Structure 1
Amino acid sequence: MDKNILLKIAYDGAGFHGWQRQPDKPTVQGHLETVLSRLFKTEILLNGTSRTDAGVHALGQQASFKADVNIPVEKLAQVVNNALCGCEKGSFAISPVRIVEAEEKPPEFHARFDARGKTYIYKIRNTQTIDIFQRNYVYHVAEPLDADAMRQAAKLLAGTHDFKSFEASGSTPRESTVRTIYRLELLQKEDLLELHVTGDGFLYNMVRILAGTLVDVGRGRICPEQMTEILDAKDRQVAGHTAPPFGLYLAKVYYEEGELYG
């Protein structure tokens, strides 16, 4: 009898063309489906919560699938991770994809449609010296950034707004571009700035445009008070630049609305 399994997945997106499967390019979904299908000897199709772009990373992507799994669910993560790194064949390579945990869900559960919100983290390294080993994992900004000004601007972006100005130009038209940001925090540890964004949903490239706009505030190119004008304009051209994908991490997916307010 088929079980409905939810996987929590972490991955290094540097070597992938995003999450969603593509016929001629390596993707996280395609890679994981291939490994799972081989492991369970049947075709496995994943329903992922977020279609992260090329170069974007994840600490807590979620994906569900249905299959007749005879492995105890509490051991499933370890078994899949062994398959991902080839340990069952005597190889000990480190896989860029890892199952953090697995759990069985009710038959009607769907990883994408039952999600109530997400948290993303965007990492900015603010220093003149470039660390080449971090080039795929942070957005390096050499100009000094005014973190206090960035925090002032972030406060004006939190709440329920029409975020049309923070949606990539040419995106597929949506029924509504109104979203709620429950938390928007800028944390700093030495030269590393982390933007933590929790919301009920995000438009295409929304977090990267938010991050780029706040960087422009930190550079002094946009005043914090302009955030209200930018929101009201509902025009992508008035917001800041789109920050690169490699600083972005899908951190957490929420399935209970109460978690969003924590």
Structure 2
Amino acid sequence: MGLLAVGFSSSPFRAIALSNSSSRADEGTKEQSSVALPSHSPLHKWRMVIAYDGTKFSGWQYQESPPTIQCLIERALMQITKLDRKELSLAGASRTDSGVHAWGQVAHFTTPFTYDGLDSIHAALNGLLPSEIRVREISAAKPEFHARFSTKSKIYHYKIYNNPIMDPFQYHYAYHSAHKLNPVAMREAAAYFVGKHDFSSFANASRNDRVRDPVRDIFRFDIIEMGSLLQLEIEGTGFMYRQVRNMVALLIQIGRESLPPYIVPTILAARDRKALAKVALAAPPHGLYLMSINYKHEHLELPADCPLISFGRTHQVSKCKLPFY
């Protein structure tokens, strides 16, 4: 299937870059052989799955100072491809907030050239990015694929460490509740969120939102006990700004038995953020994870004659160079 032409070069020809097996990934550069193509050659779209520890970063959305995940990935791509931000058109599936983590963030970018293999650019990207950000895989994408607008559902996890003493290894990755929580009451309350509702009471205002549709469809909201760790798993068509953290905050109050489970439909019906603010503050970001994103099957199909998906190079040692004693 042909790729969609979404832009044109100002010059009569544009080069098509081919990966070189001798690329120096650790230096973040890539030798390229090129073949001249007419200026009307189509743009090629590439899909990435990205994991990151959000502790040090100001969320996903592009911002130079302090840096965001999108900013750092764009800088790496610009260095590797020699393209500017406008040409790359990097877009992410979810604008995670400052301090929020991800295992399955998805983004796409475009290039006016294609690759005969993706392992080199994959290695180069991870070589340039800080260790807290890893590109887990790269693949070609059809022109109709869009990281944000092709989604069917998103899955978030929120971790609560429920113990009088906080595990220091969980400090940056789970909310600490020294109060004993009642998971049975939390599950009863979480069930009220499942289904299609107006979530106006659970969404903070965001300057990035223009016209918001507050109706969202929640497919499941599970609460799993793993020793001292409570893992809240939520899947839905999408979530508004801080919606998940606000829902979790209310469940924590219900788990403390400060509020009854049936308060959830009452606050939903109010359709007013002030109704929630009277009883709960937003849960902190460091317990939240974007785990995975589900897409329409047809949008995940690979284009014809595209390079293989890159899951990262596998390195093998053929001979031990250390002497035996």
Match of 1:29 among 44, 53, 70: 70
- CA deviation vs aligned residue, 1:141-166 (integer Å, no higher than 9, x gap): 11000000000001111111111111
- CA deviation vs aligned residue, 1:191-223 (integer Å, no higher than 9, x gap): 101111100011110000011110010011110
- The answer to whether the 8 Å contact 1:159/1:180 transfers is yes
The answer as to 2:105 corresponding to 1:61 is yes
Q: How much identity, in percent, do the aligned residues show?
A: 39
In the alignment, the residues of structure 1 paired with residue 102 and residue 168 of structure 2 have an alpha-carbon distance, to the nearest angstrom, of 21
**Structure 1 residue 180 displacement after superposition:** 0.3
- The answer to whether the 8 Å contact 2:201/2:270 transfers is yes
In the alignment, the residues of structure 2 paired with residue 257 and residue 179 of structure 1 have an alpha-carbon distance, to the nearest angstrom, of 21
- The answer to whether the 8 Å contact 2:61/2:95 transfers is yes
**Unmatched runs of 5 consecutive residues or more in structure 1:** 86-94
- The answer to whether the 8 Å contact 2:205/2:241 transfers is no
**Structure 1 residue 173 displacement after superposition:** 5.9
Q: 5 Å matches for 1:218-233?
A: 218-233=255-270
Match of 1:73 among 118, 133, 136: 118
Matched residue, 1:110: 146
Match of 1:11 among 49, 52, 62: 52
- The answer to whether the 8 Å contact 1:181/1:199 transfers is yes
- The answer to whether the 8 Å contact 2:54/2:99 transfers is yes
CA RMSD of aligned residues (A): 1.9
Alpha-carbon distance change, 179 to 191 in structure 1, aligned in 2, over 3 angstroms:
same
Report the more deviating stretch, 142-151 or 126-135: 126-135
Alpha-carbon distance change, 109 to 170 in structure 1, aligned in 2, over 3 angstroms:
closer
- Of the two, which has the highest radius of gyration? 2
Per the normalisation by structure 1, the TM-score is: 0.89
Q: From the two aligned structures, give the one with the greater helix fraction.
A: 1
In the alignment, the residues of structure 2 paired with residue 69 and residue 58 of structure 1 have an alpha-carbon distance, to the nearest angstrom, of 28
- The answer to whether the 8 Å contact 1:160/1:181 transfers is yes
Matched residue, 2:236: 199
Report the more deviating stretch, 32-41 or 7-16: 32-41
